[in-house]
Amino acid sequence: MAHGHGPGRCRCCGEEAAERGAAWGLYLRIDRQRLQCLNERCEGSGATVIRPGEERRDRSQFVESDDDEELLFNIPFTGSVKLKGVIVMGEDDETHPAEMRLFRNIPHMSFDDTAKEPEQTFSLSRDPLGELEYPTKIARFSNVYHLSMHFPKNFGAETTKIFYIGLKGEWTEAHRHEVTICNYEASANPADHKLEQITPQTHFIS
């Protein structure tokens, strides 16, 4: 709903902007050391397109496919993600991807693995400004620690070009059950404590 602005800063607009920024902030939760883009022409270029939304108009950073029109992103997160939406920005021409297929929790996915049924498939429209949001089926993407994005085709060009990918959702820190278990294993043997409790009583009786 539209609202008027009085003198000074509009606090509610600032809060709304912060909420939007947090919702689209999953790029901060990516394990970039293990991020992969398969069939990228320039090594490391795929990682540059997953960045802050305010930088999406920077057309100096992009990824272009190499041998054919396919691109495959393997995106590991540093915790558990509930993925709610995706933005894919390309050129307003035939190099823009025409289809996107999303897979969850298949680490080190290869092009051979894309024969599997995806969690969700999208027909993409050309979006040179990065304004179109594709909502996911949240029930299928509520516990994602690894996201694979497959772009199998474009609008007719020999190669595919992507300038920006936006990921919207919620992030939860990974549970560390294994650390807790190790701590228990490293603690003193309960039998030792029983002996300590029994020993004074034995001396008292004797």
Q: Residue 156 sits in a domain of what CATH number?
A: 2.60.120.470
pLDDT of residue 88: 98
- Kindly state whether residue 17 falls inside one of the protein's structural domains: no
CA distance between the termini of the chain: 84
Using CA atoms, how far apart are residues 129 and 38, in angstroms rounded to an integer?
A: 24
Asked whether residue 132 is assigned to any structural domain, the reply reads yes
**Residue 141 domain-assigned (yes or no):** yes
In a domain, 117, yes or no: yes
User: Considering its fold, how many domains does the chain have in total?
Assistant: 1
pLDDT for the residue numbered 203: 43
Burial status of residue 88 (CB atoms within 10 A of its CB: 0-12, 13-18, 19 or more): buried
Domain-located, residue 169:
yes
Identify whether the C-beta of residue 75 lies closer than 8 Å to the C-beta of residue 30. yes
The reply to whether 2 falls in a domain is: no
Domain that holds residue 110: 30-176
Q: Is residue 205 part of a domain?
A: no
Dihedral (CA of 97, 59, 27, 44) sign: positive
pLDDT of residue 23: 82
pLDDT tens, position by position, for the chain (206 residues)? 444 444 444 444 444 444 555 789 999 999 999 999 999 999 999 999 999 999 998 999 999 999 999 999 999 999 999 999 999 999 999 999 999 999 999 999 999 999 999 999 999 999 999 999 999 999 999 999 999 999 999 999 999 999 999 999 999 998 755 444 445 445 555 555 444 444 444 344 33
Domain annotation covers residue 127? yes
Burial class (CB in 10 A: 0-12, 13-18, 19+), 140: middle
DSSP per position, 125-188: PP-TTS---EE--GGGSSSEEEEEEEE--BSS-SS-EEEEEEEEEEEEEPP-HHHHHHHHHHSP
Beta bridge partners of 136: none
